[in-house]
Amino acid sequence: MSVNRENPAVLIIGAGMTGICLVIKLRELGITNITVLEKAETIGGTWRENRYPGVACDVPSHAYTYSFEPNPDWSTFFAGGKEIHEYYQRVFYKYGVNFVTKLGEAVNSCVYQDGQWTVKTAKGNTYVADLLFSATGILHQPKYPDIPGLDSFAGIAMHSARWDTSLDLKGKRIGVIGTGSSAAQLIPELINTPGTDVTVFQRTPQWLVEAKNKPYTDAQKKRFREQPWRMALVRRLSLWTFEQGTSALTSDSWWGSKMHALFAWNAKRYLEQSIQDPLLRAKLTPDYKFGCKRVVMNETFYPAIQKPNAHLVTEGIERIEPTGVVTKDGKLHELDILVLATGFDPAAFMRPMEFRGRDGLSIDDAWKTKVQAYRSLLVPQFPNFFLMLGPNSPIGNYSVIAMSEIQADYCMELVKLWQDGKLREIEAKPEAVQGWMAMLKSKMGHTVWASGCQSWYLDKDGDPLTWPDSWKNWVALMRDVKLSDLVS
């Protein structure tokens, strides 16, 4: 079948932050035959899904915007989830992404055959595309804990990413399993709700960095509108700070070590100055190196966990019964509501949809021994397919939107080569993936993530699921298109 390479049929799965960006970038190449399939009835990805009390971004607002679409009207230094969702909705309509988006179209299967992708949805519709992008996000499949009796709980149980906004929390006995980034935002809101009694079940304490969330005044917003360079400066300084943090986590150089020591000292000082009770402080003190798990940016958790209606439980959970949680010391913690703030499956990506490449190869078979992709984007035997924010994409606490833009630019370079006929298909060689994985593994030993703790930053073999190097080096690699690594 003849393919119109100048204006190919492009299909994008997901209308979140990355999907919106891809439509805008593809149009800049003159490509207009684009279809976006979104499983939900509204757009926005993670900021649509996460509606728990206190949900916010732990990256500064002005660093969490598209570089081409600054927002002078952020209300606070760290924007809340609702405000971020509204920002993406504005961009979605401003750039006309709505005209190519089909809502309520959950994808069931993607099959590559005869040079094209056939995509089928839960509505029974079939789409055919020359180029396929998965923009389903990094953390979109909630991870549920494997605790005996979980299904027996007679009260209300829900994952933090599946929050019931109609729920009345007042006067309730609430249990929270987990103390990661989402939990640290959620728990203070629960504690501060009138009449609640909140029990936090902590398996591992987290390192917290104080993140003061100051409001922007009307005068500041006016200056941002009239002098856009001010927004650009705030963005640049914010990202520079996160770049230093990434270097501190990934480098054993003199500078990296000094930065790590500084960040670690600051987190320890914040803990010591914030928690007055020495027993509680001991419970909240991690026994692993700063940054080995994802650092929590927060200013509300420490004050809240010290309130009379808050209880931090560090005994392991034995089982869950209809009336509550039983810990290993035999104590029953009676609850009305149980919140599972237990994170996400970091390797789900486009799954659980059926996904088959050349010769019917399923993605599950391709990844049977290891989830891997060349430059996080290209999977051998899956031609003309781009896995946005794929394995090894997350970079410390850095802005995901900045990562998406850099990846999108790299993909556009490959698409241009394909349009010009320099690539018959866009596909990485297996040996290129092997070289990529070997490079990642060689860098892992220099990172704090290899210091002994367990986190979602590592896979079951202890290999990195995140990018184990500096932001600067990642950007340089993504700007270097190596034709020799691609199937010609």
Exposure pattern of 91-112 as b/e (b: 16+ CB <10 Å)?
Answer: bbeebebbebbeeebebeebeb
**Rounded to whole angstroms, how far apart are CA atoms 162 and 35?**
27
Specify the pLDDT at position 207.
95
Cβ neighbours of residue 214 under 8 Å, at least 6 residues apart? 76, 77
Q: Of 215, 178, 258, 267, give the one whose Cα is nearest residue 56.
A: 215
Rounded CA-CA distance 425/440 in Å is 26
List of the chain residues with pLDDT < 50: none
- Distance of alpha carbon 331 from alpha carbon 17, whole angstroms: 44
Q: Is the pTM of the predicted complex or chain greater than 0.85?
A: yes
The residues pairing with 36 across neighbouring beta strands, listed in sequence order, are 12, 101
Contact yes or no for 485/428 (Cβ under 8 A): yes
The predicted pLDDT at position 205 comes to 95
Instruction: Name the strand (E) or helix (H) holding 255.
Output: helix 254-274
What pLDDT does residue 155 have? 97
Cα gap 471→297, rounded to integer Å: 19
What domains appear along the chain, each with residue ranges and CATH number?
10-141+345-485 (3.50.50.60), 150-214+223-340 (3.50.50.60)
Question: What pLDDT is attached to residue 458?
Answer: 73
CA distance linking residue 174 with residue 155, whole number of Å = 10
**CA–centroid distance for 460 within its chain:** 19
Q: Which residue is listed with tokens 């298909």?
A: 425
Mention every residue, 6+ apart, whose C-beta is less than 8 A from residue 212.
77, 299
What digits encode the pLDDT tens for the residues 119-169?
Answer: 999 999 999 999 999 999 876 678 899 999 999 999 999 999 999 999 999
Which residues, including other chains, have CB under 8 Å from residue 16's CB and lie 6 or more apart? Answer: 43, 44, 45, 46, 47, 48, 88, 135, 136, 137
pLDDT in the model for residue 462 = 72
Measure the N-to-C terminal CA separation of the chain; round to a whole number of Å.
19
Task: Report which of 187, 159, 142 is spatially closest to residue 338, judged by C-alpha positions.
Answer: 159
Q: What's the token pair of residue 338?
A: 């149980």
